[in-house]
C-alpha cells in the first residue's frame, strides 16, 4: 500500500500547483545554490573514457580511483591502504552494505537523534532496528553517553557517528571521539563514521576524524563526491575500512562480495576521480570559503531574533532552530502556516526524529538574497502571533 504524503508535503504541492513561489530554505543541493564543479575538467576526462569505452570493473572499485582517495586521506594525516576502500554509488548504498554485512534481521544499530531521516528507510530494507541515542541540545548537541550506553544490548552490532551532523551542524569533539571509541572498543562494536560534510568544518584546528585520531579496532569511514565537490549527480561514494587487521580483513571480504553482486558504481566517474582530486583543489577551496561565509551570515541574521535559539553549526550545511516563543499551533502547524503565509518552507524537527518542542531545520547553503529574505520572513511570522 502506498504511503500517504504527510500534511507538510501536501501543503507544498498544493501551493506550488496554485502558482505560489515557495522558498525551500531547508534545501542542501549545492547545484541548486550556485555551486558547480568546473565543467571543462569533467568534459575532458569523460571524453577520454567514451573514446575507448572499455569495461573492466573491480568489485572494490578501480585501483586508480581508490589510490586517489587514499592520497586524499594521506594529505589530511590519515594513512589508508587503497585495498581497504570499497566504492559505492552513494552513501545510502554504503549504509545498506554495512547494515547487511554486520547484522542479521532483528539486530540493532545505535544511531544519533536528531539524524538524517533516510537511515530509517535503509534499516527497514536491511530488516534491522535503529536504537536512537540523543544529542543534547543544551550542551551544544554533544553525545549523551549515559543514554548511548543504556541503549546497547547483546544484539547491538555497531554505533553510528554522524559528524558533522545533519541536521544540527554539531561536530564531535576530540574528547567525545576518544570516549566513544574507548566505549565501542570495550563493547566490541564497530564504529560507522558518516563524514560527508567533513570538508565543511568551521571549528578550531583540523577536523577530528576518528580513523586518524583514535584508531578504533574496527572503523568504517563514509564519504563521497556529492557534498565534497558539489557533484550529487555523479554518484560516487566510498567506505574506508580501518582498524585491527584481524577484524578488517573479514569485513573487507564481506563488503567486496556485496559490492561484486551489484557493481553499481559508474565506471567513467571512477576513471575521472584522480583528475577531480588533482585539479579540483582551487574549486574546493573557494567552495569551502563561500559555504563558511553563508554560514556566518546565517548565524548573524538569526542572532538578531531572541525568539529563535540555536547552536551555531560547527560543520556542514545545516542548523537546527528552537522556537522559544509560545505559538498557537504545534510544530507541524508552524511549518504549514509559515509556508502558506510567507512562502518559506523549513523542515520540522520531527522529520529528524526530534520530538521535543518546536524545532526547525534550516540550510545555510542558500544564496544571500534568499537567506536574508527567508530569515526576515521567519521573524515576521513569529512576531505576528
If we measure between CA atoms, which residue out of 80, 319, 126 comes closest to residue 223? 80
Specify whether 140 is located in the same domain as 234: yes
Whether 16 and 153 map to the same domain: the answer is no
What does the pLDDT read at residue 1? Answer: 41
In terms of domains, do 19 and 88 share one?
A: no
Is 286 a member of any domain? yes
| pLDDT of 35 higher than 50 | yes
- 336 and 245 in a single domain? The answer is no
Q: Identify the domain boundary among 279, 305, 328.
A: 279
Region of poorest pLDDT, from 57-61, 116-120, 367-371: 116-120
* Res. 227: pLDDT tops 70: yes
> Of 321 and 49, which is predicted with more confidence?
321
The share of the chain scoring above pLDDT 90, in percent, equals 94
Domain-located, residue 44: yes
The pLDDT of residue 273 is: 97
d(CA 76, CA 207): 9
Residues 146, 133 share a domain:
yes
Exposed/middle/buried for residue 205 (C-beta within 10 Å: 0-12, 13-18, 19+)? exposed
pLDDT at position 5 is 85
One domain, residues 27 and 83: no
**pLDDT score for 166:** 96
Q: What is the mean pLDDT of residues 121-144?
A: 96
Strand (E) or helix (H) holding 265: none
Alpha carbons 308 and 128: distance in angstroms, whole number? 37
Tell me the per-residue pLDDT of 157-176, one tens digit each, with 9 for 90 and over: 999 999 999 999 999 999 99
Distance (Å, rounded) from C-alpha 325 to C-alpha 192?
37
What value does the mean pLDDT take over residues 50-63? 92
- If one counts the domains in the chain, the total is 2
pLDDT confidence of 3, banded at 50, 70, 90?
Answer: low
Which of 291, 304, 303, 309 lies closest to 364, judged by CA? 291
Residues 79, 32, single domain; the answer is no
Same domain, 12 and 77: no
Residue 159 lies in a domain: yes
Domain of residue 347 covers 7-36+282-384
pTM recorded for the entire structure? 0.96
pLDDT per residue over 294-327, tens digit each? 999 999 999 999 999 999 999 999 999 999 999 9
264 in the same domain as 175: yes
Within a domain: 327: yes
pLDDT for res 117 = 87
The stretch 176-190 carries a mean pLDDT of: 98
- In a shared domain, residues 17 and 52: no
Closest by Cα among 132, 123, 66 to 95: 123
Question: What's the mean pLDDT when you consider all of the chain?
Answer: 96
Q: State the number of CA atoms in the 13 A half-sphere of 15 facing the CB.
A: 21
One domain, residues 76 and 166: yes
Residues 126 and 256 in one domain: yes
User: What integer is the mean pLDDT of 235-253?
Assistant: 98
Amino acid at each position: 500500500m502506498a504511503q500517504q504524503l504527510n500534511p507538510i508535503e501536501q501543503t507544498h504541492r498544493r501551493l506550488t500547483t496554485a502558482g505560489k513561489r515557495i522558498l525551500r530554505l531547508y534545501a542542501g543541493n549545492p547545484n541548486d545554490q550556485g555551486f558547480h564543479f568546473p565543467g571543462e575538467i569533467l568534459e575532458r576526462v569523460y571524453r577520454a573514457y567514451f573514446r575507448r569505452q572499455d569495461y573492466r570493473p573491480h568489485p572494490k572499485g578501480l585501483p586508480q580511483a581508490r589510490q586517489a582517495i587514499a592520497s586524499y586521506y594521506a594529505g589530511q594525516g590519515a594513512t589508508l591502504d587503497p585495498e581497504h576502500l570499497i566504492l559505492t554509488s552513494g552513501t545510502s548504498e554504503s549504509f545498506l552494505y554495512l547494515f547487511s554485512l554486520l547484522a542479521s534481521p532483528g539486530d540493532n544499530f545505535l544511531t544519533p537523534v536528531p539524524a538524517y531521516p533516510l537511515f530509517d528507510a535503509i534499516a527497514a530494507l536491511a530488516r534491522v532496528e535503529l536504537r536512537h541515542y540523543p544529542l543534547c541540545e543544551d550542551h551544544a548537541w554533544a553525545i549523551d553517553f549515559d543514554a548511548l550506553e543504556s541503549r546497547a544490548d547483546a544484539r547491538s552490532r555497531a554505533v553510528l557517528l554522524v559528524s558533522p551532523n545533519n541536521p544540527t551542524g554539531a561536530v564531535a569533539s576530540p574528547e567525545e571521539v576518544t570516549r566513544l571509541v574507548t566505549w565501542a572498543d570495550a563493547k566490541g562494536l564497530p564504529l560507522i563514521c558518516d563524514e560527508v560534510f567533513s570538508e565543511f568544518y568551521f571549528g578550531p584546528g583540523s577536523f577530528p576524524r576518528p580513523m586518524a585520531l583514535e584508531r578504533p579496532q574496527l572503523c568504517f569511514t563514509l564519504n563521497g563526491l556529492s557534498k565534497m565537490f558539489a557533484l550529487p549527480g555523479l554518484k560516487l561514494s566510498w567506505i574506508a575500512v580501518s582498524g585491527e587487521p584481524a577484524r578488517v580483513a573479514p569485513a573487507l571480504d564481506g563488503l567486496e562480495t556485496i559490492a561484486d553482486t551489484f557493481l553499481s558504481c559508474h565506471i567513467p566517474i571512477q576513471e575521472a576521480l584522480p583528475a577531480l582530486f588533482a585539479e579540483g583543489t582551487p574549486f574546493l577551496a573557494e567552495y569551502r570559503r563561500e559555504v563558511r561565509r553563508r554560514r556566518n551570515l546565517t548565524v548573524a541574521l538569526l542572532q538578531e531574533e531572541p525568539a529563535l535559539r540555536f547552536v551555531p553549526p560547527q560543520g556542514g550545511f545545516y542548523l537546527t532552530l528552537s522556537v522559544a516563543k509560545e505559538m498557537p499551533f504545534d510544530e507541524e502547524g508552524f511549518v504549514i502556516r509559515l509556508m502558506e503565509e510567507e512562502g518559506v518552507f523549513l523542515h520540522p524537527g520531527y522529520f529528524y526524529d526530534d520530538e521535543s518542542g518546536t524545532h526547525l531545520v534550516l540550510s545555510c547553503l542558500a544564496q544571500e538574497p534568499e537567506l536574508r529574505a527567508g530569515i526576515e520572513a521567519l521573524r515576521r511570522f513569529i512576531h505576528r502571533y
